[in-house]
């Protein structure tokens, strides 16, 4: 191996970012690591990350995080015409540690999450990191704060896509999709098992069995729990009328809403509100 020049360890800042397109001879070698975290998303071409036990090659959509003090070298992959990368040296907020520590390890101190070249997760992460870099290198008075928020969004998307530890990983992807629908755009819609089943390409009976096996509830029970969670939030935090809250979560009749709410909570909506939740 030819002699290599040790790359300067950067001074520790909350966040330093960049988007580079590097030539085949590009390389960085830090035998003592850095004092901050380093995140690199390959956006084009291919990169190579060396470590104590070998090396790993990255393709577009691969995101690598290197922990402080981890010896490493990285470069344009052998034989690659170029390497496009979005990167950030950063000091994480304390609560980010849980999201980062669960990412798939490839070597001590190094994790790699493969998002795929054209997946929705890849688009979401790259979009957030693009925003991070624009803010960090822009002229806003609070550019670092904006950039840190964008980086946080990217890490949240990574956690959601993590096959090892995200909430998504606990469920069949089709069950998770139905859960998202029932929590969100279809919260106030009448439940239609047939329609939900078509959305995820399952038969109604298969969806019902799979959903209950993984969540302990039927889709209808899950939707009702989510509706009344939203109702409790609105009763506690807003002055909206009980009729308006009932309509928002899908009850045409405030009277029926009150009956169901009392059966589930032991209190009427009015009593719940007066008691402060």
For 99-162, the DSSP string reads HHHTSPEEETTEEEEE--SS-HHHHHHHHHHHHHHHHHTS--TTHHHHHHHHHHHHHHHHHHH-
- Interval 39-54: pLDDT, tens: 999 999 999 999 878 8
* Residue 261: band (very low, low, confident or very high) from pLDDT cuts 50, 70, 90: very high
- Strand 47-51 to strand 37-45: parallel, antiparallel, or no bridges (unpaired)? unpaired
Question: Residue 89 forms beta bridges with which residues?
Answer: 16, 38
Give 173 or 126, the one with higher predicted confidence: 126
- Determine contact, residues 235/277, Cβ cutoff 8 Å: yes
**CB atoms inside a 10 Å sphere around CB 79:** 9
Question: Residue 73 forms beta bridges with which residues?
Answer: 29, 50
C-alpha pair distances (Å), 15 with each of 70, 71, 89, 152, 256? 18, 20, 6, 12, 53
Q: Which two three-digit tokens encode residue 91?
A: 């000091």
Whether residue 121 is predicted with pLDDT greater than 80 in this model: the reply is yes
Whether residue 199 is predicted with pLDDT greater than 60 in this model: the reply is yes
Structure confidence at residue 1 (pLDDT) = 47
- Interval 82-118: pLDDT, tens: 999 999 999 999 999 988 988 999 998 999 999 988 7
Question: Residue 54 forms beta bridges with which residues?
Answer: 51
Whether residue 2 is predicted with pLDDT greater than 60 in this model: the reply is no
| CA separation for the pair 213, 223 (Å, rounded) | 16
Taking the domains of the chain in order of start, what are their residue ranges?
A: 15-161, 171-274
Mean pLDDT of 196-214: 92
Angle separating helix axes 219-237 and 204-215, nearest 10 degrees: 60
b/e map 94-126, b = 16+ CB within 10 Å: eebeebbebbeebbebbbbbbbeeeeebbebbb
Structure confidence at residue 160 (pLDDT) = 86
Question: Residue 65 forms beta bridges with which residues?
Answer: 39, 111
Structure confidence at residue 198 (pLDDT) = 93
Mean pLDDT of 232-242: 91
Domain 15-161 has CATH 2.60.120.280: yes
Whether residue 60 is predicted with pLDDT greater than 70 in this model: the reply is yes
- Angle (nearest 5°) at CA 163 between 147 and 53: 85
> Average pLDDT, whole number, for the chain?
90
* Residue 184: band (very low, low, confident or very high) from pLDDT cuts 50, 70, 90: confident
- Determine contact, residues 55/79, Cβ cutoff 8 Å: no
Structure confidence at residue 176 (pLDDT) = 84
Q: Which CATH fold would you assign to the domain 171-274? A: Arc Repressor Mutant, subunit A (1.10.10)
């Amino acid at each position: 191996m030819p002699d290599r020049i040790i790359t300067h360890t950067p001074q520790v800042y909350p966040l330093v970012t960049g988007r580079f397109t590097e030539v085949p001879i590009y390389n960085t070698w830090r035998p003592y690591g850095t004092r901050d975290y380093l995140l690199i998303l390959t956006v084009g071409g291919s990169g190579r990350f060396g470590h104590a036990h070998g090396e790993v090659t990255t393709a577009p959509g691969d995101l690598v995080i290197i922990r402080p003090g981890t010896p490493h070298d990285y470069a344009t992959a052998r034989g690659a015409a170029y390497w496009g990368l979005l990167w950030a040296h950063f000091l994480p907020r304390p609560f980010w540690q849980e999201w980062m520590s669960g990412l798939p390890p490839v070597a001590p101190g190094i994790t790699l999450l493969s998002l795929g070249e054209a997946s929705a997760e890849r688009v979401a992460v790259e979009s957030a990191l693009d925003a991070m870099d624009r803010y960090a290198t822009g002229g806003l008075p609070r550019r670092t704060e904006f950039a840190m928020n964008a980086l946080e969004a990217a890490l949240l998307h990574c956690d959601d896509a993590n096959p090892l530890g995200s909430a998504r990983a606990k469920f069949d992807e089709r069950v998770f999709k139905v859960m998202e629908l029932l929590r969100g755009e279809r919260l106030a819609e009448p439940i239609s098992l047939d329609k939900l089943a078509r959305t995820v390409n399952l038969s109604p009976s298969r969806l019902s069995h799979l959903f209950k096996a993984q969540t302990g509830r039927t889709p209808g029970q899950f939707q009702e729990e989510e509706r009344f969670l939203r109702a409790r939030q609105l009763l506690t935090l807003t002055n909206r009328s009980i009729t308006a809250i009932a309509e928002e979560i899908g009850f045409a009749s405030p009277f029926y809403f009150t009956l169901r709410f009392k059966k589930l909570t032991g209190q009427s909506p009015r009593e719940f509100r007066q008691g402060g939740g």
